[in-house]
Amino acid sequence: MTPFGIRKRLKGLMGDAAKPDVTSYELVFVLPDGSEQKVKTEARYTLAMASQFLPSPIATGCPDGQCGQCVVEVLDGTGIAAISDSERKVMDKWHKTPDPKRRLACHARVEGSGARVRVFSLFDYDSVRGT
Does residue 31 contact residue 119 with C-beta atoms inside 8 Å? Answer: yes
Residue type, 1: M
| Neighbouring C-beta atoms of residue 98, cutoff 10 Å | 9
> In whole angstroms, what is the distance from residue 64 CA to residue 43 CA?
20
Q: What is the pLDDT of residues 17-70, one digit of tens each?
A: 555 677 899 999 999 999 999 999 998 899 999 999 998 999 998 888 999 999
Residue type, 95: H
Least Cα distance to 102 among 66, 77, 65 occurs for: 77
Torsion of CA 31, 123, 40, 89, to 10 degrees: -90
**Domains in the chain, please, with CATH?**
24-129 (3.10.20.30)
Predicted TM-score (pTM) of the model is 0.79
Q: Which of 1-10, 14-23, 87-96 has maximum average pLDDT?
A: 87-96
